[in-house]
């Protein structure tokens, strides 16, 4: 028996907060952002709803960055860049994901690839500039 999904203003606010930003927020960021408007909001409620939204496909996890799981409200196939310096997560919207790679991997390993995700790691422009300044000093 499926359980009924109840409407909740907090649930709606959590999803709106994630979909309304490009910063790929953590649960803590969502909590701190919504707490002033929803004083009775708990971090546990945020976490439970993030799990729910992932299970329903409304959001996706980008993975753990600097100790915190980060989320994306944009569930269309796209790649990401994660800065190992500051932890920024950037969308790489103009990078076309290669369906031929899915087919090649499927054929090579005898599996059925449905999609893939591509994440690049390195330093963002701000961190590269900061490192150059440190070297000069």
pLDDT over 70 at 2, yes or no: no
Asked if the model's pLDDT at residue 126 lies above 50, the reply is yes
The mean per-residue pLDDT over the stretch 15-40 comes to 97
Let me know if 7 is exposed, middle or buried by CB neighbors in 10 A (0-12, 13-18, 19+). exposed
pLDDT of residue 64: 96
pLDDT beyond 50 at 1: no
Does 15 score more than 50 pLDDT?
yes
* Residue 98 binned pLDDT confidence (cut-offs 50, 70, 90): confident
Report CA torsion sign: 57, 119, 23, 76.
negative
Of residues 96 and 63, more confidence is placed in 63
pTM of the model: 0.83
Is the alpha carbon torsion for 104, 106, 109, 115 positive or negative? positive
Mean pLDDT is lowest, of 4-8, 64-68, 72-76, 129-133, for: 4-8
Domains annotated for the chain, with CATH where assigned, are 1-74 (1.10.10.10), 76-137 (3.30.1490.190)
pLDDT higher for 35 or 133? 35
Residues 6+ apart with CB under 8 A from 3: none
* Residue 121, SS3 per DSSP: strand
pLDDT of the residue at 62? 96
């Amino acid at each position: 028996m499926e359980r009924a999904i109840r409407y909740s203003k907090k649930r709606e606010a959590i999803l709106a907060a994630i979909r309304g930003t490009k910063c790929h927020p953590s649960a803590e960021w969502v909590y701190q952002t919504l707490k002033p408007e929803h004083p009775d909001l708990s971090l546990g409620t945020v976490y439970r709803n993030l799990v729910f939204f992932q299970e329903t496909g409304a959001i996706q996890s980008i993975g753990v960055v600097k100790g915190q799981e980060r989320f994306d409200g944009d569930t269309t196939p796209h790649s990401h860049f994660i800065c190992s310096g500051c932890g920024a997560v950037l969308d790489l919207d103009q990078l076309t994901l290669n369906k031929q790679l899915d087919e090649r991997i499927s054929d090579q390993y005898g599996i059925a690839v449905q999609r893939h995700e591509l994440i690049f790691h390195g330093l963002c422009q701000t961190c590269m500039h900061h490192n150059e300044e440190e070297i000069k000093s």
